[in-house]
Amino acid sequence: MRTVMMVTLLALAGCMTQQAYDGAKRDRDEVAHISGDLRFTAGVPVSALLRQVDGHTLGITQSGVDVDPGSHELLVDCVVQETKSTSRFSLSVEVSAGSRYRLVPETGPGLECIAVHLEARD
């Protein structure tokens, strides 16, 4: 029972979003949301973990960020569970207000992470 409760708490903790703009919280249609995978993957074969946005590091419980529309610099780790390998990618992205985006990892031969791209999820 304790293990189930701990896993549930960790999963919920990984869903937090960082606010990466100044001022009060804004409506969803005024900001762009960028999300990566949860840090606690529970068997997901390949994960794209959002590490930094515009030089600001996300906390361990944060898997997403709300940002102003426009250009942003992302630092993303691509983790392949089977080989226990991590590749780091820097992405320059352009996002729009009211849009939601997801980091998507790409693998190549030999279970190697070859790229991560940002995909709109509207």
Helix (H, G, I), strand (E, B) or coil at 7: helix
Residues 102, 119 contacting (CB under 8 angstroms): yes
> What count of other Cβ atoms lies within 10 Å of the Cβ of residue 115?
15
Predicted confidence (pLDDT) per residue in 23-44, tens digit:
888 899 999 999 999 987 667 8
Predicted confidence (pLDDT) per residue in 36-77, tens digit:
999 876 678 999 999 999 999 999 999 999 999 999 999 999
pTM of the complete model: 0.82
Strand segments, DSSP code E, in the chain are 16-19, 32-35, 46-53, 56-57, 62-67, 70-80, 85-95, 100-108, 112-120
C-alpha dist (Å) from residue 107 to 47, 48, 86, 92, 102:
10, 11, 12, 20, 16
Q: Which pLDDT score, from 0 to 100, does residue 41 have? A: 66
Which neighbouring-strand residues pair with 17? 64
How many domains is the chain built from?
Answer: 1
Domain that holds residue 35: 2-120
Mean pLDDT of the chain: 87
